[in-house]
Amino acid sequence: MTEPSDKAASPPGAESSPSGSRSAGWRANARFAADIVNTLAVPLLTIAATVVGLYATNSLKQREIAIATESNRQSLRNQREESETNLRSAMFRELVGPLLQGEQVRTATGPQGDMPRDQRLALLAELLTLNFHEHFELGPLLQYVDALPGQTDETRARLRSTARRVISRQLAPMLSVTAAGPGSHPGFLEVSLNSDVQQPPEALQSCAIPEKEATAASGAITMECSTSAQGLPWRVTSPDGRDSLQVNIRAVNWPVQTVGIYALVLDASGAPQANTPPIEFTLSPYSFPFSDNTLLPSGNRFGIYLTRFDMVPDVLRVMRLSFVWFPRNFEPPRERPFDLDVGTIPPIAGN
């Protein structure tokens, strides 16, 4: 008798594959996760959109606040500059008006009057110089007021002291950037002019470096002045080495405090540069850096200024000059740069 097989004895559906069971479980988990995501998608998107919207709104508001703050700051700055300009304009008119009045306009003198006209003009010129020296060339006006017939020595001394004060103000920003490194040519020189006190102060004198002395490495030289000065010429080189000058000092007038300057531009061999005219001017107590300077073809700019004067009759006569090489690309406030911001035209290629 044949025995029944195990396969026939197994009930239908009792057979189960392990791989099929795992596949069914994975699908169930995926459906469950999808249901969760589908349920939370709208709230999550809403929250994300809200956060992005709040961030954008906050950023826009901060930018608007920054723009408004800068606009208010600029408006206040403009108002302050406008008020200052109006004040300086009114002050300028008040100071210039009396200076331009004719000789027939006199100020009353006496217990109820003001100071004499010459001294009053000196005071107005002094105020004008201290407040507007950056914007106007005031040297001619100061020389006119200085030379008025009724001007006192005390008033002249005050005017010249004011001029030296302005010179130091204008030199300060330039000297801060003209410091020379080791081995380079200095951008600032102090020149002392010592007069022969045995000669009358009214005699015009010339100055030269004594042969026994040479230019000091520290940027200071001493020149002896007399009616027949003998010695070495004064030569100075720009900090970048591109320009060399031979400066001759002559026609020194001690009572008036003026100095005649005659400068030659030298070439590499030390001879006067061809096709370059000499530089000639008269230095006075009222020569200011922002208005009295010389621009060379190389782009270098230099100036000479009277910074100290000591005169004791029959004892001492000394002038202290400051020779300054201006910083490269320096433009005085009175010289407005002309820049159209025109781009470079590209070259045309050949055929």
Q: Which of 10-14, 212-216, 262-266, 301-305 has the lowest mean pLDDT?
A: 10-14
Q: Which residue would you say has higher pLDDT here, 341 or 171? A: 171
| Count of CB atoms situated within 10 Å of the CB of 111 | 4
The pLDDT value given to residue 114: 61
Is the confidence at residue 26, as pLDDT, over 90? Answer: no
Is the confidence at residue 20, as pLDDT, over 90? Answer: no
* 317 beta partners: 311
What DSSP state is assigned to residue 286?
Answer: T
Q: Which of 150-159, 210-219, 264-273, 308-317 has the lowest mean pLDDT?
A: 210-219
Domain boundaries, the chain: 187-325
Q: Could you give the CA distance from residue 250 to residue 205 in angstroms, rounded to a whole number?
A: 6
Pairing of the two strands 220-226 and 234-237: unpaired
Q: Could you give the CA distance from residue 294 to residue 301 in angstroms, rounded to a whole number?
A: 5
The pLDDT value given to residue 193: 93
Query: 243-257, pLDDT tens digit by residue?
Result: 999 999 999 999 999
Q: Which of 101-110, 170-179, 210-219, 229-238 has the lowest mean pLDDT?
A: 101-110
Average pLDDT in the 149-173 region? 90
The pLDDT value given to residue 351: 32
Q: Which residue would you say has higher pLDDT here, 283 or 58? A: 283
* 221 beta partners: 191
Residue 304 structure tokens: 């000479």
Is the confidence at residue 87, as pLDDT, over 70? Answer: no
Average pLDDT in the 160-164 region? 93
The pLDDT value given to residue 72: 85
The pLDDT value given to residue 108: 47
Q: Could you give the CA distance from residue 141 to residue 284 in angstroms, rounded to a whole number?
A: 13
The pLDDT value given to residue 247: 93
pLDDT-derived band at 349, boundaries 50, 70, 90:
very low
Q: The whole model's pTM is what? A: 0.66
pLDDT-derived band at 115, boundaries 50, 70, 90:
confident
Task: Return mean pLDDT, the chain.
Answer: 79
Give first-to-last CA distance, the chain, whole Å. Answer: 112
- 58 by Cβ neighbours in 10 Å (0-12 / 13-18 / 19+) ranks as exposed
Average pLDDT in the 64-91 region? 79
- 62 by Cβ neighbours in 10 Å (0-12 / 13-18 / 19+) ranks as exposed
The pLDDT value given to residue 159: 93
Q: Which of 9-13, 36-40, 323-327 has the lowest mean pLDDT?
A: 9-13
Is the confidence at residue 70, as pLDDT, over 50? Answer: yes
The CATH fold assigned to 187-325 is Tick-borne Encephalitis virus Glycoprotein; domain 1 (2.60.98)
Percent residues over pLDDT 70 in the chain: 75
The pLDDT value given to residue 244: 93
The pLDDT value given to residue 88: 67
Q: Could you give the CA distance from residue 177 to residue 174 in angstroms, rounded to a whole number?
A: 6
| Count of CB atoms situated within 10 Å of the CB of 229 | 18
Where on the phi/psi map is residue 329: left (φ > 0), alpha (ψ -120 to 50), or beta? left
Is the confidence at residue 71, as pLDDT, over 70? Answer: yes
Residue 156 DSSP SS3: helix
